Amino acid sequence: MKALKPRTADAAAGYLAVRAHTETLAAALSPEDQCVQSMADASPAKWHRAHTTWFFEQFCLVPHAAGYRPFDADFSYLFNSYYDAVGARHPRPQRGLLTRPSAGAVGEYRAHVDAAMADFLPHASAAARALVTLGLQHEQQHQELLATDIVHAFWQSPLLPAAIPGWTEPAGAAGPTRWKDFQGGVAAIGAASMAGKDGHDFAFDNERPRHRLLLAPYRLASRLVRNGDYLDFIEAGGYRTPSLWMSEGFAQAQAEGWQAPLYWRERDGAWHQFGPGGLAALDPAAPVRHVSWYEADAFARWSGARLPTEAELEAACGDIAEFDSHVWQWTASAYLPYPGFRAAPGAVGEYNGKFMINQMVLRGGSAVTPPGHARPSYRNFFHPDRRWQFSGLRLAQDIA
């Protein structure tokens, strides 16, 4: 628990650094950009800025900072995401209709809460400091969502603007893909405590408890599946071959006309990809991204392979390159509670536990994950048809 009791100056600096990064991302966006909601899954940038602020107000300041007065009594209704224990909230699909408060007023809200947090942090109890840490990890998750959501919004624009000016696409690595064998056996998976493991100073509740399980011998590809590999799948008719697909996935691919990953566009006879920097020529050596679990699973089957389980990836961490690389890696694992999982008491117990159904786990990290946020035991999760995250895959095989 050492990292949950940092010196006051470190705690204040850490808080301000995370908060500042959100504002850096938002600074490239106009007030109009910040209000757009392109689909129900995505939230406006302004909403992300306000909701992350509300999290500190609701879970740190209101219960723990004596005399704190909320900035605006209506904001809990507007910026509560999904916490039923806190109360009623604005419908998620209508977040883009919140023209007020303005982007500027949200900035004032952030400043109000930051000032109160600066006063509060030196006196915070251990329990309150743990909530501050959770709030900072939460804000980092929303930084990634802010980036992925605005990229999706800008994809709707004929102008195809850059969401992150100056963004450079991570270069793909040359060279062949190799298989690396793992003997399996009993593996210990998960984080031992809230303080994480292997030098990491935090873990979410969904990474606990650490537990043992049995892995059969398996092999993993040395690198992630690349755009060039995926082009071969497309050209081989992968999207038109139902035997490669889960039934639900093939039906959705047909209904929505999927013929390539999200954000791919053919222009002048060549594939391009839209990303945080705008539209650019597709790099065949870069990891494929913006594929759903269904596409990743179909690609793996077409390749004579399969998706790895989350335990296989975690047990292999340190022995495979690109673990914390450019894209999240879909796994064969359903997002379920680990044996003995207990949600935290109170409203923050809703953070992860109530979503452990109908979603698939992703491991690793992406080019828009804030540096230092993810770790080997980190469990990301999305529904199997979602494509707007930076989601790709690594192949696995059984060793007969």
Cβ proximity to Fe ion: between 22 and 81 the closer is 81
> Which residues have CB under 8 Å from 277's CB, separation 6+?
162, 164, 165, 166, 167, 168, 169
DSSP state of 28: T
Q: Is 282 exposed, middle or buried (0-12, 13-18, 19+ CB in 10 A)?
A: buried
Among 185, 187, 210, 202, smallest CA distance to 339 is for 210
**DSSP helix/strand/coil, 235:** helix
CA distances from 137 to 144, 314, 336, 342 (A): 11, 20, 21, 19
Cβ proximity to Fe ion: between 140 and 292 the closer is 140
Rounded to a whole number of angstroms, the minimum distance from the CB of residue 51 to Fe ion is 6
Rounded to a whole number of angstroms, the minimum distance from the CB of residue 82 to Fe ion is 8
Choices 77-85, 116-124, 149-157, 353-361; region in contact with Fe ion by CB under 5 A: 77-85
CA distances from 241 to 259, 295, 311 (A): 12, 12, 30
Cβ proximity to Fe ion: between 37 and 81 the closer is 81
Phi and psi at residue 72, in whole multiples of 5°? -155, 125
Q: In whole angstroms, what is the distance from residue 176 CA to residue 278 CA?
A: 29
**227 binds Fe ion, rule: CB under 5 A:** no
Total number of residues binding Fe ion (CB under 5 A)? Answer: 1
Rounded to a whole number of angstroms, the minimum distance from the CB of residue 239 to Fe ion is 34
Rounded to a whole number of angstroms, the minimum distance from the CB of residue 83 to Fe ion is 9
Rounded to a whole number of angstroms, the minimum distance from the CB of residue 131 to Fe ion is 14
Cβ proximity to Fe ion: between 137 and 222 the closer is 137
Strand partners, 265: 272
Rounded to a whole number of angstroms, the minimum distance from the CB of residue 19 to Fe ion is 15
Cβ proximity to Fe ion: between 81 and 309 the closer is 81
Contact between 48 and 146 under an 8 Å Cβ cutoff? The reply is yes
In the window 80-139, what residues touch Fe ion (CB under 5 A)?
81
Choices 73-81, 107-115, 242-250, 336-344; region in contact with Fe ion by CB under 5 A: 73-81
Residue nearest to Fe ion (CB): 81
Cβ proximity to Fe ion: between 333 and 389 the closer is 389
Choices 75-83, 109-117, 199-207, 338-346; region in contact with Fe ion by CB under 5 A: 75-83
- Cα angle: 158, vertex 161, 167; to 5 degrees: 150
Rounded to a whole number of angstroms, the minimum distance from the CB of residue 130 to Fe ion is 17
Rounded to a whole number of angstroms, the minimum distance from the CB of residue 357 to Fe ion is 18
Phi-psi region of 33 (alpha: psi -120 to 50; beta: other; left: phi over 0): alpha
Cβ proximity to Fe ion: between 141 and 227 the closer is 141
* Intra-chain end-to-end CA distance of the chain, in Å: 43
Cβ proximity to Fe ion: between 91 and 175 the closer is 91
Choices 78-86, 171-179, 200-208, 342-350; region in contact with Fe ion by CB under 5 A: 78-86
The amino acid that residue 213 corresponds to is L
- Residue linked to tokens 């296989």: 312
The amino acid that residue 377 corresponds to is S
> How many helices, marked H, and strands, marked E, lie in the chain?
11, 12
Binding site for Fe ion (CB under 5 A): 81
